[in-house]
Amino acid sequence: MTLDIEFKTAVALALLGKEFSSKRLLELSGREKPRGQHHMKYTPTDLRSIRYRLAGLGPEEQQKAIAKNKQLPALIVTRMTKGGVGKTSLSVNTAAALAMAGFRTLLIDADPQRSASILLKIRINSEALHIGKLLTRTNNVRDSDLPEALHHIISDGMFDFLPAHISMAESDQSLATAMGSYLRVELFLERNQEFLAKHYDAIVVDTAPGTTPISLAFTYAAHVPGNILTVVEPDGYSIEALESLASNLNEIEMVSRKRVGTRIVINKYHPTLKHVAESMGYLYSNYQSQLIESIIPQTTGFSRQFSTEDESKTLPLVIKDPSSIGASAVFSLVNQLIPIFGITLPGLQK
Ligand SMILES: Nc1ncnc2c1ncn2[C@@H]1O[C@H](COP(=O)(O)OP(=O)(O)OP(=O)(O)O)[C@@H](O)[C@H]1O
Ligand SMILES: [Mg+2]
């Protein structure tokens, strides 16, 4: 099901990271408040137009820039060797928030556990195309079946999704013995560059914990933006896992001579827990240059995303409750990810 979403002025401003008056925002949108509606509501497409208008580009110039664009979308690969830290929660909500903020976003579920697919209520059968099948292909021609594999989550092409299937674990097994399997994501992006450049401004990837061939190939592809996005919980186990992740990245550099750095987001922060305070101290003294300023608090919003009684109520937090504490933390995270990962719109500067 494709969603038509609208949000209020305060949410639009948080997504833009600006402090305009509501009057100024309305002017920038180029729209008028619908008759009989008390408060203006904005759509992801409005925010896209506002971004263009702020940069002084009119509708015609936008169309030209989009038609001319050949650049691959910005790539955010969420990665952590430890399980349960919040990779899926943050990648799905980051992707949805980027879309709400006006960037056409593709989310790829690269985890056979398919947690992102469950959160987006997309179920596919074993015959359907998923990223595992795409990565095991060895031909160098565009994947002409890719568009049919994509699910439209938000209308106007603002948020598309490539779901996972449990049988994707078999792709991992076959890649384990394949030649150059770490290059497969880069090859997939290159052969589909024209299609991806035309439809998306950003690609977000949710990977499996541990070190699987698929997650390794996505980690390698992150040498282009220069960084992966790592999620840590402020606790000892998570910090230990940061070290195993670093050795993973060193190995990639040794084999490929490409450096992949990491930007770290702290998730499930809780100010009153003693071990949290200690771990925060350790993270700030040892990983300061990699830490992202925005911190995601521990909040029940993330577990409330799933509704066991009524599946139609299962939705990413930023869509379900954009005024919640968790959603506003994600909006501020997204505003920091935009420059770090070079996210932009065709025709605009990074
Ligand atoms: N900021 C948060 N506050 C409270 N709960 C959270 C937060 N972030 C994630 N969670 C909860 O933690 C659990 C694990 O989250 P999630 O599935 O996103 O982690 P993951 O790293 O993707 O796990 P896996 O390694 O299994 O893929 C979920 O129950 C989720 O609701
Ligand atoms: Mg996950």
Residue with tokens 């409005």: 46
Measure 116 CA to ligand 2 centroid, in angstroms. 7
Nearest to 120 by CA among 146, 100, 91, 98: 91
Residue 152 is part of a domain; what is its CATH number?
Answer: 3.40.50.300
Pocket test for ligand 1, best of 81, 82, 88 (most atoms within 8 A of CB): 88
Q: How far is residue 62's CA from residue 164's CA, in Å, rounded to a whole number?
A: 33
Instruction: Give me the domain span that covers residue 207.
Output: 70-340
Q: Minimal CA–CA distance to 152: which of 144, 138, 137, 162?
A: 162
Residue 123 lies in a domain: yes
Q: How far is the CA of 34 from the centre of ligand 2 (A)?
A: 40
- d(CA 268, CA 260) in angstroms, rounded, equals 25
Tens of pLDDT along the chain (350 residues) come to: 899 999 999 999 999 999 999 999 999 999 999 998 889 999 999 999 999 999 999 989 999 999 999 999 999 999 999 999 999 999 999 999 999 999 999 999 999 999 999 999 999 999 999 999 999 999 899 999 999 999 999 999 999 999 999 999 999 999 999 999 999 999 999 999 999 999 999 999 999 999 999 999 999 999 999 999 999 999 999 999 999 999 999 999 999 999 999 999 999 999 988 899 999 999 999 999 999 999 999 999 999 999 888 888 999 999 999 999 999 999 999 999 999 999 999 999 87
Report pLDDT for 269.
97
Evaluate whether residue 119 is within a structural domain. Answer: yes
Closest CA to 149 of 90, 195, 98: 195
* Count of domains observed in the chain: 1
Residue 49 lies in a domain: no
The beta strands (E) that lie in the chain are given as 7-8, 41-42, 74-78, 105-110, 151-154, 159-162, 202-207, 227-232, 261-266
Block residue for tokens 């699910």 = 151
**Distance from the CA of 268 to the center of ligand 2, in angstroms?**
15
| Nearest ligand to residue 86 Cα | 1
Residue 141 lies in a domain: yes
Q: Does residue 285 sit within a domain?
A: yes
Instruction: Name the residue of 81, 89, 119, 320 whose CB sits within 8 Å of the most ligand 1 atoms, as the mutation to test its pocket.
Output: 89
From the CA of 267, which ligand is nearest? 1
Would 95 be classed as within a structural domain? yes
Q: Please, how many CA atoms are within 13 Å of residue 96, restricted to the half-sphere of its CB?
A: 27
pLDDT for res 350:
79
CA 93, 79, 114 angle in degrees (round to 5)?
A: 60
- The answer to whether position 93 is within a domain reads yes
Measured from CB, residues less than 6 Å from any atom of ligand 1 are: 83-89, 111, 113, 115, 209, 267-268, 296, 298-299, 302-303
Residue 108 lies in a domain: yes
Q: CB burial class (10 A; 0-12, 13-18, 19+) of residue 153?
A: buried
The minimum-distance atom of ligand 1 relative to the CA of 80 is 21
Neighbours of 3 (CB within 10 A): 14
Cα 252 to middle of ligand 2, angstroms? 22
